Amino acid sequence: MKKLIILFVGFILITGVSKAQDDADTAWKIKSDVSLMFSQTAFNNWAAGGENNITLNGFFNFYAGYIKGKSKWENILALAYGQSKAGKQDFRKNEDKIDFVSTYGLKAAEKWYYTANFNFKSQFDKGFKYYDDSIPAYNEEISNFLAPAYTSLGLGMEYRPFDFMSFYLSPATARYIIVNNERLADSGAYGVKKGYYENNVFVHGEKSKFEFGAYFRFLFIKDIMKNVSLSTKLELFSNYLENTQNIDVNWDTMINMKINEWLSASFGLQMLYDDDTPITDNDGKTGPRTQIKEYLSVGLMYKFTN
């Protein structure tokens, strides 16, 4: 709940600061939006049955771009956090994201840029695999802040046919996978080298893994019709150092529909595939799987553009 309170306070502060800056003269192009989404279902003596539930989600998206001469520098930050509660269960995390992208480009030709790209991904809070609602100790922690985290830095070319569309290709991208949790690192989670015994002494697993490979990103951010905006980002990565044929995929899409000055509805869909992340399915089989997350919510939104 503390994360939701922080997002709510941020919503109030950003609203006030943004209004004060509406008439400011700046060389930067800045856009941001903050959303607070809420849903609830309650039952009382309901013959057909049902379970009370409540969901709270907060989203913050920020863009800052600067263009001068042949140089351009763009920064995109996406934050999300949410929790839900069903029946007598405790609140559980249902959304958690930190995603920061910074790109610096030097114009090479019309619509083409030599580009350096930096990316950081992680999450705010612990994530669990739930086995028994009545015994919290049975629920397994499978993620946390910086467990995992992904950082990458690459050099390549960007093609920008329109302001709202970008294609970036880097044949040389260095990526670190970070698992800053000893238990998860010992188990080899998220592809790091797991712990092992040597001469009856346990050697802990490594908390990071280095990868070097090719990276592609497609980015589209645009108002596709009145009061409806679409943002989608597709990322592909192939590691030259191991299993080059296996391509990591991250496709993240969000549609925001503005109802009035403050109310909005949002739909989000994220699809992931990572060969280093084995998942056990309902049949007990373990291996890499396509991961899908989606949501639909209604709530408050404030947008700022300078």
Q: Using an 8 Å Cβ cutoff, are 53 and 19 in contact? A: no
* pTM for the whole structure: 0.85
| Eight-class DSSP state of 100 | E
The answer for residues whose C-beta is within 8 angstroms of residue 110's C-beta and 6 or more apart is none
Q: For 191, how many CA atoms within 13 A lie in the half-sphere containing its CB? A: 20
* DSSP element (H, E) containing 6: helix 2-20
Domains of the chain by start residue, with CATH: 60-79+98-305 (2.40.160)
Element (H, E) at 240: none
- In tens digits, the chain (306 residues) has pLDDT values of 444 444 444 444 444 444 434 444 457 899 888 888 888 888 887 887 888 989 999 999 999 999 888 999 999 999 999 999 888 888 899 999 999 999 999 999 999 999 999 999 999 999 988 876 655 556 889 999 999 999 999 999 999 999 999 999 999 999 999 999 999 999 999 999 999 999 999 999 999 999 999 999 999 999 999 989 999 999 999 999 999 999 999 999 999 898 888 888 889 999 999 988 888 777 778 888 899 999 888 888 877 777
Residue pointed to by tokens 């739909």: 267
Which helix (H) or strand (E) segment holds residue 27: the answer is none
Beta pairing class for 263-273 and 92-109: unpaired
